[in-house]
Structure 1
Amino acid sequence: MNTTTDKYPLLMTLNDPSDLRQCTEDQLQQVCDETRSFLIDTVSKIGGHLAAGLGTVELTTALHYVFNTPDDRIVWDIGHQAYPHKILTGRRDELHTIRQPGGLSGFLKRNESIYDTFGAGHSSTSISAALGMAVAASQQNLDRDVVAIIGDGAITAGMAFEALNNAGDMDANVLVILNDNDMSISPNVGAFKNYLTRLMTGPTVSSVRQGAKKALNIMPEVRDYARRWEEHVKGMILPSTFFEEMGFYYAGPIDGHDIDTLVTTLNNLKEIQGPRFLHIVTKKGKGFEPAEDAPIKYHGVAPFNRTTGEFGKKSKVRTYTDVFSDWLCDMAVQDKKLVGITPAMREGSGLVRFSEEHADRYYDVAIAEQHALTFAAGMACDGQKPVVAIYSTFLQRAYDQLIHDISVQDLDVMLAIDRAGLVGADGATHAGMFDLSFLRCVPHCVIYAPSDEAECRDMLYSAYQHKGLTAVRYPRGTGIGAKERVEMTEIPLGTANVVAQGSKVAILSFGTVLPAAQKAAQALDATVVNMRFVKPLDGKLIRKLAAEHDFLVTVEENVVAGGAGSGVNEFLSSAGINIPTLNLGLPDRYIDHGSQESLLAECGLDATGIETSITNSPFFKMDDSLSTERKTAVK
């Protein structure tokens, strides 16, 4: 007996949206129920993103039912909410591989499916991308609908408003759907509101509005009076006309879990040309009580009990994020000028405790990384000490502010950069592969790269004491379990530390790759140095290492191009030191999802990979007489 078919009899017949469009409207609720249950069953076994997807089941079903996908374009913001989209677009039977090595991506990828029209791991890009697609369709004279779905959190970003402003101004044929799941809309969202919206978007009212607009254009005074009258009436029964002022035909809010209303409303809006805005209200975690009660907890989850919602025992090993969280609270007690800033990543960046214990100095600026840095710059101008907690991948979005607003003015701002290096299951869009490269070239920026948890705490303290722009970068997850000291020690600026003494090779390790470098060195009789700083470098020690070894090896969890190794190369060149140098780091390509350990091995940054790269290097087999001659010249 095929138990899967028995449990999901209708869903198992839907292999792509064309199958879905063969269903009757009366069957759509069953499709939603089976999709939601299938999603919970799958994620409970393998982990992944859950709450957001549970909230978009009805919306996803309605979109693929009403619109002719993939010819019509549906652009999702990020991908947390798009698991139902994957289920209904031919990837149902692969969902159990999501975020696994070689499996489906946890986000949207254009090369994974023709239904993934735009790939994104960062938020607030959907409206801009959809607008571009709508204009492209117009340029090519294609009759195509384009829909952007954006969340109430993502729409807080400046980029979303830039796109709305542009779309309304150019009268583009695009539909923007605001998926509001923060419960900020009043409870009277329901049948009456749904009826009003269906009425306002229906063919009769729409045709009257469009016809009246044309007729009244020849009578400006009457037209302006009619417009004011319409806004006054709508203002009494519908939310603010903000989006209509931006040039959009506004509809909503409606219940985003009412499949019948969604289908009717989308069909009505499909017949209207120009920029349209549909506001729907949904509930994160819909249909799974534990996720409804704790949507943040069930945003990204490990495997859990399908019946109770309970997770397995949580590891007691401290993460680097935990180290930062405790340090920030401890430092805030010592210095009342400290303020903590996050661009909507309170939980991920470890600011929950700080937000509770120092609420008056905690600032969540929403998904607005550019604003976060300039906001910090303004505070620094007038005597506060801002600590901006931000993921490496999100810092990329605020690069101009980093340079123009902080560095040029030499302001006292500290960056605590989480998720540096590879991030595992989240894949290429979230990997912190570039921060050393783009930070190293910025004047006034001091860059710390801790090798373990204890050193991370001391470096956070040291960076805070420094007057000027500083950055401490640390990876996702746990380290070696180094016990942190309560009393913090300031590390002298630009000083490295020799942790193992050898003869032929010197390995210069930057950050948490140090344990792998040490293990590799044991088979090579190599010197190992914990460089600690990417900028400034310990030039005195590098000179000494060059004089005592046949060649140097740099190791970092950052792209080789422009990274820490490049900094060593530049120092050697400027000092006139000629020594063979091998730079090991992340390759010149994007790294797909998998476990952090497997990805490091794939990139040759585990102990075996480092040892192999060194022994296979032509420098390792260099003639001893040439080596002696070169060392003498360096000395």
Structure 2
Amino acid sequence: MNKHPEYLLNKISGPKDLKKLSISQMEQLAKEIRTLILEKDAAEGGHLGPDLGIVEATIAYHYVFDAPKDKIIWDVSHQTYPHKMLTGRAEAWLDPDKYEDVTPYTNPDESPYDYYAVGHTSTSIALATGMAKARDLMGGHENIMALIGDGSMTGGLAYEGLNNAAIEKHNLVVVVNDNQMSIDDNVGGLVTALKKLRDSNGETKENPFTAMGFDYRYVADGNDIKSMIDAFKAVKDVDHPILLHINTLKGKGYQPAIDHEEAHHWVMPFDLKTDKTTVPALEGPTANSVAMDVMKEHIENGEKIIAINAAIPGVFGLDEIKNKYPENYHDVGIAEQESVAFAAGMAKEGAVPVLFENSTFLQRAFDQLSHDVAANDLPVVMMVAGGGMSGTSKTHLGVFDQVMISNLPNWIYLAPTTLAEEKAMMEWAIKQRKHPVAIKMPTKHVPVGENATSDYAKIKYNIKPGKDVAVLALGDMYDMLGKGVAEKLGASLVNPISANILDKDALDKLATENKVIVTIEDNTLDGGFGEKVASYLGDKNVKVLNYGQKRVYTDQIPLKEILKDNRMTVDQIVEDVKNA
């Protein structure tokens, strides 16, 4: 049921309706959009600060330009809630029963006003350069625009895009949405450059964009609709590359999001009256708290160790390290390639780098994992969060980390089944100085556990014996599925410990003692752990059943459905084994 039938937004079915409004009506529309963003995010969570800050610029864009013929590429696209409301999808905010009808990022399957499924930073300008060149080649004349935040400008691909955008022969507009904030505080020399531009109202001679050849324009108040309309009218149809720098306020309209920007970049469901989350806090130790305890112990022991992070300290609970031990913490910005190369450089000089990476963003640094770390066999320690099947957007899936890391030489990828094991693996990884070691941090519930082995130089499987069937359940899957399957079948239950280093002696023995071997992993199947086991046992007289995610992009599909679709429930696996 529509919560706000009186809203002006109900009359906006697309940008053509927006073009009929007065400035005062558009200002009213901006207030309505902010209210709806807050109401929906409070109910189910989502990106908050970025969307609250971009409302006026979005309204002005659709007022001036002629989408979908004119094209705007939203970097990350986590700030497109207002865009979606203005392009025929407002019901997904007006009606709580329809909250799930749209995805949280741009999605071409959802609307002709969205051009890409985008969820990672720094890609928009590069995408726009290709679109502009194709337009030129095909004799088109539409406006091509990339809107990128100052936080996303800390990523290397943004500069590759700028380098090529500057030599576009015809229309290409890059809008730098400068709200002086990334997910966390912005870092690096870019902060200094943008501040000089803001402080001088865009007049400083130290302008990196004009130095590259851009026609540079500045808007001091990017949250003023009239100013933004005037700025967009001035750049529409201009036949050369332009960089439009707009100064906006992240979290505008909701004071807690202005006062505490990092905490309100993305929020879990919360109470609008108190700003407190309505999601109960986890009790006891977590994967994050275990990792932080290990870091603090080594730092306080005076070791030359550093936590390295690419702009997402909140994902790991790194704020305590950042604030209490600033010399032992380094944030590279939204620059995963730099974070891995930075770690490689530190390891080469004898320090102990501990990289904290999110699975979905780690794929941006694949070359560095290979070329800089693996090929040089440097003892980098890497904690990988968010690895596993989940009901997130297809732009944020965490099911590829094992495939990336496990198939590179020299990398050892460990997968703990308990928090005690996570701690022991981390301690060993920090101590050993021979190879790069990654640890897949639990994302599902795992027990605290005890009595974990302290040496992982040689992988030796932990086996609870059973009969006829052996279940090898990696990491999170040990407790989540492995135990239940083994119990129902009276099967052996195996903790494989590593996603890529096999205990071949144990596998040989299991193959002679069992009729069926089952592998279960929280990752995509292709190139994963199960295929390594199946390949090794290919000439043995034993049937191998592999369970993991199919090689597909799921998009906002509930985890229960994903598991069922991949036959990854206890009953389904048991049924398959009995049929085998």
Question: Normalising to structure 1: TM-score of the pair?
Answer: 0.84
Look up the match of 2:159: 161
Aligned residue among 244, 247, 254 for 1:278: 244
- 1:356 corresponds to 2:300: no
1:256–1:282 contact (8 Å) kept in structure 2: yes
What CA deviation, in whole Å up to 9, does each residue of 1:523-548 have, x standing for no partner?
A: 22211101111232111111111111
Aligned AA (2:109): N
Q: Secondary structure at the match of 2:365?
A: helix
Alpha-carbon distance, 1:265 to partner: 0.9
1:253–1:279 contact (8 Å) kept in structure 2: yes
Alpha-carbon distance, 1:102 to partner: 6.1
What CA deviation, in whole Å up to 9, does each residue of 1:425-445 have, x standing for no partner?
A: x32222221222222221111
- Quick one: distance in 1 between partners of 2:49 and 2:413? 37
Look up the match of 2:138: 140
Alpha-carbon distance, 1:560 to partner: 1.1
Aligned AA (1:251): R
Look up the match of 1:251: 217
2:68–2:112 contact (8 Å) kept in structure 1: yes
Aligned residue among 239, 257, 263 for 1:297: 263
What CA deviation, in whole Å up to 9, does each residue of 1:478-512 have, x standing for no partner?
A: 52342578x9944463111113x321211111110
1:377–1:406 contact (8 Å) kept in structure 2: yes
Q: Which runs of 5+ in 2 are unaligned?
A: 182-190
Aligned residue among 507, 510, 519 for 2:471: 507
What CA deviation, in whole Å up to 9, does each residue of 1:387-442 have, x standing for no partner?
A: 11101122211111111111111111111111111233x32222221222222221
Equivalences for residues 86-165 of structure 1 within 5 A: 86-95=84-93, 103-165=101-163
Aligned residue among 528, 534, 537 for 1:572: 537
- Quick one: distance in 2 between partners of 1:96 and 1:492? 56
Look up the match of 2:188: none
Equivalences for residues 537-576 of structure 1 within 5 A: 537-573=502-538, 576=539
Alpha-carbon distance, 1:335 to partner: 5.6
Q: Secondary structure at the match of 2:537?
A: helix
- Quick one: distance in 2 between partners of 1:254 and 1:99? 39
2:107–2:116 contact (8 Å) kept in structure 1: yes
Aligned residue among 143, 160, 179 for 1:181: 179
Alpha-carbon distance, 1:324 to partner: 1.9
- Quick one: distance in 2 between partners of 1:362 and 1:40? 33
Equivalences for residues 96-495 of structure 1 within 5 A: 103-182=101-180, 193=201, 234-235=203-204, 240-312=206-278, 314-317=280-283, 318-334=285-301, 336-424=303-391, 426-467=392-433, 468-476=435-443, 478-482=444-448, 489-491=454-456, 493-495=458-460
- Quick one: distance in 1 between partners of 2:98 and 2:2? 25
Moved more, 275-284 or 305-314: 305-314
2:477–2:522 contact (8 Å) kept in structure 1: yes
What CA deviation, in whole Å up to 9, does each residue of 1:246-275 have, x standing for no partner?
A: 121100142110110000111011142211
Classify 1:356/1:98 alpha carbon distance in 2 versus 1 (closer, same or farther; 3 Å): farther
Look up the match of 2:576: 613
What CA deviation, in whole Å up to 9, does each residue of 1:342-363 have, x standing for no partner?
A: 1111111332122123211211
Alpha-carbon distance, 1:68 to partner: 0.3
Classify 1:261/1:50 alpha carbon distance in 2 versus 1 (closer, same or farther; 3 Å): same
Moved more, 180-189 or 374-383: 180-189
2:144–2:171 contact (8 Å) kept in structure 1: yes
Alpha-carbon distance, 1:571 to partner: 2.2
Look up the match of 1:202: none
Q: Secondary structure at the match of 1:297?
A: helix
What CA deviation, in whole Å up to 9, does each residue of 1:447-489 have, x standing for no partner?
A: 101112222112212222232111101243x52342578x994
Aligned AA (2:253): G
- Quick one: distance in 1 between partners of 2:233 and 2:450? 60
- Quick one: distance in 2 between partners of 1:100 and 1:539? 52
Classify 1:395/1:26 alpha carbon distance in 2 versus 1 (closer, same or farther; 3 Å): same
Aligned AA (1:126): S
Look up the match of 1:32: 30
1:497–1:529 contact (8 Å) kept in structure 2: yes
Look up the match of 1:23: 21
Look up the match of 1:204: none
- Quick one: distance in 2 between partners of 1:475 and 1:107? 26
- Quick one: distance in 2 between partners of 1:100 and 1:613? 37
Look up the match of 2:187: none
2:268–2:279 contact (8 Å) kept in structure 1: no
Q: Secondary structure at the match of 2:220?
A: strand
Aligned AA (1:85): H
- Quick one: distance in 2 between partners of 1:242 and 1:52? 25
What CA deviation, in whole Å up to 9, does each residue of 1:357-390 have, x standing for no partner?
A: 3211211111111111111111111111111110
Aligned AA (2:291): F
Question: Normalising to structure 2: TM-score of the pair?
Answer: 0.92
Classify 1:545/1:117 alpha carbon distance in 2 versus 1 (closer, same or farther; 3 Å): same
2:40–2:93 contact (8 Å) kept in structure 1: yes
Q: Which runs of 5+ in 1 are unaligned?
A: 198-233, 621-635
Look up the match of 2:553: 590
**What is the root-mean-square deviation of aligned Cα atoms in Å?**
2.5
1:518–1:528 contact (8 Å) kept in structure 2: yes
Classify 1:164/1:484 alpha carbon distance in 2 versus 1 (closer, same or farther; 3 Å): farther
Aligned AA (1:408): A
Alpha-carbon distance, 1:73 to partner: 0.4
Query: How many corresponding residue pairs?
Result: 566
Q: Secondary structure at the match of 1:169?
A: coil
Aligned AA (1:527): S
Aligned AA (2:514): H
Classify 1:340/1:384 alpha carbon distance in 2 versus 1 (closer, same or farther; 3 Å): same
Alpha-carbon distance, 1:58 to partner: 0.5
2:74–2:146 contact (8 Å) kept in structure 1: yes
- 1:519 corresponds to 2:517: no
Query: Which of the two has higher C-alpha Rg?
Result: 1
